Amino acid sequence: MTTTLRYACHTAHLDPMTGEGLLVMPHPIDDLRLAAGGLHEADWQQVVASLDRQGWEPSESDYGGWQHARTPDIADGVLVGTAR
C-alpha cells in the first residue's frame, strides 16, 4: 500500500513494502521568492527532515547527486528510497 504525504509544495508517494518512493517536485515557475530564499527551498528542507525522521532519504544516482525521474503524468520528481 502506497502512502501519500503532502507538504506545502512537494508530494511524497512512498511504498514501505518495497522501500521505494517518488517525491514530486513543484514547478520552479511557481516559487515564491522571499528575502531569505524561496518557498520551495524552505519546503524542501522541511520535507527532507520529515522523511528522514521516518527513515527515508533521497536515492543517489550513479553520477552523484539525486536520482531524478520524469513520468508522462508528473513533470519532475526525485526518487526516494528507505534508509533502513
Return averaged pLDDT per consecutive 10 residues of the chain, 84 residues in all. 92 89 83 84 92 87 72 57 45
pLDDT at 51: 92
pLDDT at 84: 37
pTM: 0.76
Q: Report H helices in the chain.
A: 39-53
pLDDT at 79: 55
Instruction: Tell me the residue range of the domain where 41 lies.
Output: 3-82
pLDDT at 3: 92
Cell of 26: 513543484
Count of domains in the chain?
Answer: 1
Largest CA distance in the chain: 41
Nearest to 8 by CA among 43, 59, 33: 43
How buried is 11 (Cβ within 10 angstroms: 0-12 exposed, 13-18 middle, 19+ buried)? middle
pLDDT at 50: 95
